[in-house]
């Protein structure tokens, strides 16, 4: 074919035809294959920040690194949809854009960092220090290799990163929260209040007449969105975990097996070792130790020797220890070879020559087999169950590979799948109760609602090494309920709301009386001799027993004023603020210092964000939304 093309291009007619054909090809590529070039974006360009381009490859690498770190922190796999819902894709792009903006500003300002200073900072990085606390070049190379980076690329990235840090540090240095803000923060966190209060029960609202059908229907129409059934799914589920099998396997554990395991671990697990109270006198040399030993042999007491050397109990007592507690083997061997009140010959220790005395011996104590039999049976059953889980997993998977349903695959393996008639996306049945014994309910429900009837689903692994298989047998769509279905619920809701309204109105009347000078005690007496209670030292971050609404009302009212708020059970608290104190601003208080530091950090972040945003407006930012959407699997958005 190439020969034919070359031959045809030898004549003027052939060259003309070839030119026309190539022209059509170029036009086709321009409008269909590489149209992004004419729209300002190349095939690999994700964004343009001033004169700097952010490529698709750069973004993809940064995104994958962030996703990997997020998965490591949460210790689980995170899907692309979850990451998108968290905004991870936009966060990564925003960081890359911010870095590009700051890099250009650093260049405009003529900022630079010498190789010597850069090397100094890398050498000081804790991530590259070995066990001796010094820079470890081998560790440095290993870390770069694990990150898929070259030394040249890492150094280049670090130089840019350190320059950005210098710019941000310069921006924030000397910036402090104004005193007016500090006073407000101090008031918010440290003000304490005290109240006197009574609790108006729901019965204080009086008798609420039964609603008419018209009232109920009006209420139903106004709250129609509330009365819906969620989507339910019917599932066939087989949960196989070590714990689900252990109960049956435990019945097969013999007493001989239990005794054998008990003997194997008795010394390490069920025996409290011998403890001894030891004392020691340390001497500067062997001659001094031998001289002291001779005195003891001639009748001088150990206590007299301690007094002679002007030592204290702190100097001589080793405490009540086990043999394993003693780091020095010579001390351990000598101390645990003596009888009670026995005194050793001079012993060469790590800290010099010493003489030891035993003042107390606590013999070893072993738990009897009967006391730990249940735990051993459970341990053995779980160990055997782990092996059985693997066998069952392989057997079920073989059956599933042959096209069998979960129920049939379970039956072929001598097991029985469980049928769940209805479960919603929160793992609840139709009565609103959580469905129990699902192995890993959150993962199962998530997978089941992402599947459909007839779909061959992947098994779900559990944290304890088990497996969950499931089939979706049916889907009951979410639907709006009609009035007749929920009439009783509507009646109860209407009654509760009317009761709350009447109780609130009554409390408002009583608050007016309180503000006009009537005492809380007289109001309490008029409402059936209600108990007047007192609550002090109430703070916004220490609400004691107050609900969020009650706490808000207590701090919303001025000193001496009354107020009311609904309690957690639908009653109404009527209160009067009897004390309000704001301590003087003290920046040295550790707890308040932490709050100020958090506020300063937030202000710094806001300042940096405004600075970067202003720079973005100067240099200009363009984003290839089509390319971004293709990477993250989300619909493209307009710039």
Q: What is the DSSP string of 488-549?
A: HHHHHHHHHHHHHHHHHHHHHHHHHHHHTT--HHHHHHHTTSPPPEEEEEEBTTB-TT--HH
Decide: helix, strand or coil at residue 2.
helix
- Say if 147 falls within a structural domain: no
Query: What confidence score (pLDDT) does residue 22 get?
Result: 52
Asked whether residue 174 is assigned to any structural domain, the reply reads no
Please check whether residues 301 and 346 belong to one and the same domain.
yes
Rounded to the nearest 10°, the torsion over CA 3, 6, 12, 18 is 100
State how far Cα 600 lies from the chain centre.
24
Domain assignment of residue 459, yes or no = yes
Query: Looking at the domain assignment, is residue 574 inside a domain?
Result: yes
DSSP symbols for 234-260 = EEEEEEE-HHHHHHHHHTT--HHHHHH
Q: What is the DSSP string of 84-122?
A: HHHTHHHHHHHHHHHHHHHHHHHHHTT----HHHHHHHH
| Count of structural domains, the chain | 5
Indicate whether 501 and 437 sit together in one domain: no
The domain of 216 spans 192-224+485-581
CA 195 – CA 538 distance, rounded (Å): 9
| Within-domain flag for 126 | no
Q: Which helix (H) or strand (E) holds 481?
A: none
Residue 67 is assigned to a structural domain of this protein: yes
Q: Verify that 375 and 457 share a domain, yes or no.
A: yes
Residues 492, 427, single domain; the answer is no
**How far is residue 302's CA from residue 280's CA, in Å, rounded to a whole number?**
10
- Together in a domain, 239 and 380: yes
**How far is the C-alpha of 235 from the C-alpha of 418, rounded, in Å?**
8
Per-block mean pLDDT, blocks of 10 residues, the chain (639 long) = 46 49 46 42 74 86 82 75 82 87 86 85 86 83 80 85 84 78 86 94 91 94 91 94 83 90 88 92 92 92 90 84 90 93 92 92 91 89 83 90 92 92 94 90 93 92 88 94 92 94 94 94 93 93 87 93 91 95 83 77 82 86 79 53
348 and 384 within one domain: no
The DSSP call for residue 65 is H
Same domain, 565 and 420: no
The reply to whether 342 and 422 lie within a common domain is no
- Let me know: does 236 contact 457? Beta carbons within 8 Å: no
Distance CA 523, CA 520 (A): 5
In a domain, 181, yes or no: no
Order the strands of the 347-349 sheet from edge to edge. Answer: 317-321, 275-283, 352-362, 347-349
Single residue among 363, 397, 412 that ends a domain in this structure: 363
Residues 279 and 338 in one domain: yes
3-state secondary structure at position 343? strand
To which residue do tokens 């209040």 refer? Answer: 193
Max CA distance (Å), the chain = 129
Residue with the two structure tokens 């695959």: 409
**Which candidate, 213, 104, 278, 185, places its Cα nearest to that of 491?**
213
Q: Final residue of a domain: which of 343, 363, 383?
A: 363
Residue 73 is assigned to a structural domain of this protein: yes
d(CA 59, CA 411): 50
Residues in the chain: 639
Does residue 529 share a domain with residue 475?
Answer: no
Alpha-carbon distance of 7 to 449, in angstroms, equals: 64
Rounded to an integer, what distance in angstroms lies between the CA atom of residue 514 and that of residue 576? 8
Residues 511 and 577 in one domain: yes
User: b/e for 115-129, b at 16 or more Cβ within 10 A?
Assistant: eeebeeebeeeeebe
Helices then strands, counting H and E runs in the chain, come out as 25, 19
Alpha carbon distance 577, 554 (integer Å) = 7
Token pair in block for residue 433: 């109760």
Strands 572-581 and 621-623: what pairing? unpaired
**pLDDT of amino acid 15:** 52
Angle at 80 between CA 610 and CA 99, to 5 degrees: 30
**389 and 241 in contact (C-beta within 8 Å)?**
yes
- Residue 636: what pLDDT? 47
**Pick from 207, 361, 348: which is nearest to 277 by CA?**
361
41 and 16 both lie in a single domain: no
DSSP label at residue 285: S
- Domain C-terminal end among 446, 480, 514: 480
* CA separation, residue 57 to residues 46, 61, 202, 445, 626 (Å): 9, 6, 64, 35, 15
């Amino acid at each position: 074919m190439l020969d034919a093309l070359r031959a045809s291009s030898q004549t003027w007619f052939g060259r003309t035809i070839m030119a026309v054909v190539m022209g059509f090809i170029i036009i086709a590529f321009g409008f269909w294959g590489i149209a992004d070039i004419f729209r300002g974006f190349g095939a690999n360009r994700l964004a343009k920040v001033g004169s700097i381009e952010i490529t698709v490859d750069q973004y993809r690498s940064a995104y994958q690194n962030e996703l990997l770190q997020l998965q490591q922190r949460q210790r689980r796999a995170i899907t692309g949809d979850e990451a998108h819902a968290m905004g991870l894709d936009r966060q990564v792009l925003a960081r890359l854009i911010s870095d590009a903006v700051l890099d250009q500003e650093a260049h405009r300002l003529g900022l630079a960092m010498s190789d010597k200073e850069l090397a100094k900072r890398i050498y000081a990085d804790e991530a590259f220090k070995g066990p001796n606390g010094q820079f470890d070049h081998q560790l440095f190379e290993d870390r770069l290799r694990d990150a898929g980076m070259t030394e040249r690329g890492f150094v280049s990235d670090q130089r840019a990163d350190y320059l950005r840090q210098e710019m941000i540090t310069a921006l924030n240095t000397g910036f402090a929260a104004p005193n007016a803000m500090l006073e407000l923060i101090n008031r918010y966190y440290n003000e304490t209040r005290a109240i006197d209060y009574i609790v108006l029960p729901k019965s204080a609202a009086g008798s609420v007449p039964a609603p008419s059908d018209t009232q109920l229907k009006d209420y139903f129409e106004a709250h129609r969105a509330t009365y819906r059934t969620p989507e339910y799914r019917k599932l066939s589920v087989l949960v196989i975990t070590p714990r689900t099998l252990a109960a049956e396997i435990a019945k097969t554990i013999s007493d001989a097996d239990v005794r054998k395991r008990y003997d194997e671990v008795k010394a390490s697990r069920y025996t409290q070792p011998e403890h001894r109270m030891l004392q020691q006198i340390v001497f500067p040399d062997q001659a001094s130790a031998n001289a002291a030993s001779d005195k003891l042999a001639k009748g001088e007491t150990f206590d007299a020797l301690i007094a002679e050397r002007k030592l204290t109990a702190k100097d001589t007592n080793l405490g009540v220890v086990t043999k394993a507690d003693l780091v020095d083997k010579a001390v351990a061997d000598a101390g645990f070879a003596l009888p009670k009140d026995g005194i050793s010959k001079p012993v060469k220790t790590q800290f010099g020559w010493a003489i030891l005395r035993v003042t107390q011996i606590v013999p070893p104590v072993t738990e009897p087999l009967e006391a730990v039999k249940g735990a051993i049976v459970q341990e053995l059953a779980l160990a055997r169950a782990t092996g059985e889980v693997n066998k069952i997993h392989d057997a079920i998977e073989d059956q599933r590979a042959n096209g069998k349903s979960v129920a049939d695959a379970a039956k072929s393996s001598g097991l029985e799948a469980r049928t769940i008639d209805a479960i919603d996306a929160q793992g609840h049945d139709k009565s609103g109760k959580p469905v129990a014994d699902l192995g890993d309910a959150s993962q199962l429900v998530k997978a089941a609602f992402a599947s459909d009837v007839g779909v061959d689903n992947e098994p779900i692994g559990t944290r304890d090494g088990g497996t969950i298989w499931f089939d979706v047998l049916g889907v009951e769509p979410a639907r709006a309920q009609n009035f007749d279905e929920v009439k009783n619920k509507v009646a109860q809701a209407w009654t509760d709301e009317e009761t709350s309204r009447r109780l609130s109105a009554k409390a408002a009347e009583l608050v007016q009386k309180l503000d006009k000078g009537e005492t809380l005690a007289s109001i309490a007496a008029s409402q059936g001799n209600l108990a007047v209670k007192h609550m002090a030292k109430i703070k916004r971050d220490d609400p004691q027993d107050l609900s969020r609404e009650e706490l808000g009302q207590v701090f919303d009212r001025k000193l001496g004023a009354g107020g009311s708020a609904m309690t957690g059970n639908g009653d109404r608290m009527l209160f009067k603020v009897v004390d309000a104190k704001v301590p003087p601003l003290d920046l040295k208080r550790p707890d308040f210092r932490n709050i100020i530091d958090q506020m300063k950090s937030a202000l710094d972040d806001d300042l940096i964000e405004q600075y970067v945003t202003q720079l973005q407006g100067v240099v200009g930012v363009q984003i290839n939304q089509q390319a971004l959407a293709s990477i993250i699997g989300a619909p493209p958005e307009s710039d």
